[in-house]
A and B are shown apart, each in its own frame.
Chain A
Amino acid sequence: DAGITQSPRHKVTETGTPVTLRCHQTENHRYMYWYRQDPGHGLRLIHYSYGVKDTDKGEVSDGYSVSRSKTEDFLLTLESATSSQTSVYFCAISVPGQPYEQYFGPGTRLTVT
């Protein structure tokens, strides 16, 4: 196991409310990622981080923000949740010295009503 946990694992929230998802790693790796998974779309990158306070946008970053104040934690925030953000969210880390090789957390299922 890659030592990645995500919390919460399930969440139901209402449209317009802020939501924060947490990813925690025990591996002390530099690179962390947030993806969303939707039927028929595979996984799409939302944001990634290449170090403490260093983040960048991915393919589907609109409506999302991230923060990384410690190496082990990467937070994903939906400032004002919308129904289109109902999805399963996965966090991943990449392995130093192994280009692009990523390991995934168990996921968070988010439902926005």
Chain B
Amino acid sequence: AQSVTQLDSHVSVSEGTPVLLRCNYSSSYSPSLFWYVQHPNKGLQLLLKYTSAATLVKGINGFEAEFKKSETSFHLTKPSAHMSDAAEYFCVVSGSWGKLQFGAGTQVVVTP
């Protein structure tokens, strides 16, 4: 069985400072991992995905994530936060036929 744990339910950062969202996963085989973002009252947008290629994955809007098997982690980072980054972020692991298992989410607040 696969699962993900997002270690922070809320993260507050100042505009222009780095963002770090932490995610640990559990999987019985080599996982596929995703980060999705949800803006208020919107659908979900894929930021990036890891599928056993390069361990450092670059996504949209300046986000990237690093897959670390030894730590079972897939943390999401961005060097410089923008006001438009305020949203909820979900770490997701994919099951055998594409079934997605979502983390509980991390709410990001960006202050001027």
Q: Do A and B bind each other?
A: no
